[in-house]
Amino acid sequence: MLTILDKSRLQITIERLACQVIENYIDLTSVALIGIQPRGVFLADKIYDQISNMGVHQLPQYGRMDITFYRDDIRKELHEPNKTDIPFSIEEKNVILIDDVLYTGRTIRAAMDALLSFGRPYKVELCVLINRRYSRQLPIQPDYCGKAIDSIISQKVKVEWDREEVNLY
C-alpha cells in the first residue's frame, strides 16, 4: 500500500480545488456542484464547505446524484441505489460533477446521462480528486484534478475519508 495523499496534503488539495472553482466563475450563482453517489459526495461536501468557509457571498447550488440505473454494468451485479437530491433546476447552469477517482470514464458517462434527466445545463465540467491516467475506456478528462497518477490495471485507488487519505493498492 502506498499513500498518495495524507491528511494534510488532502486538505491542501481540497482547498486548491475550491479555489479553482472560485477563480473560474465570478458569479457562483450560475454554478451547481453535484456530487456523484456514493463516493463523490464526500469530496463534494468538502469542496462546498471549503467554498463556504472562504467568505464567498454567493454560494453555488449543491446537489447529490445517484447514477445506479444509468450504469452500463448494472446487469453484472445488483446495485443498491442511493438518494438523488437536486432541489434546483440545472437549466442554463454551469454544472460541476464531482467524483473521487476517475478511472475508465464509465461512471462519468452514466452521470452525464443521468444529469440530462434533470434538464439541459449550459456547461458540464468534471472535478475529481484522483485522475488515473492511461486507463480510460471513454474520452473523458477532468477540468479540475486534485492529483494525476499513473497506475496499472491491477492496482486500486482507495479514498479513505474516515482516515482522510488516498492509498494505492
Domain ranges of the chain: 2-160
Q: In the sheet where 2-5 sits, what is the strand order? A: 2-5, 165-168, 157-160
Q: How many CA atoms lie within 13 A of 43 on its CB side?
A: 34
Q: Of 130, 78, 124, 72, whose CA–CA distance to 100 is shortest?
A: 130
> Of the CATH numbers 3.40.50.720, 3.40.1160.10, 3.30.420.40, 3.40.50.2020, which one belongs to the domain with range 2-160?
3.40.50.2020
Predicted pLDDT of residue 76: 61
> Which secondary structure element, helix H or strand E, spans residue 165, and what is its range?
strand 165-168
Predicted pLDDT of residue 159: 94
From first to last of the 169 residues of the chain, give the pLDDT tens digit: 899 999 999 999 999 999 999 999 988 999 999 999 999 999 999 999 999 999 888 899 999 999 988 887 665 666 677 889 999 999 999 999 999 999 999 999 999 999 999 999 999 999 999 999 988 999 999 999 999 999 888 899 999 998 899 998 8
Question: Which residues, in sequence order, are bridge partners of residue 132?
Answer: 149
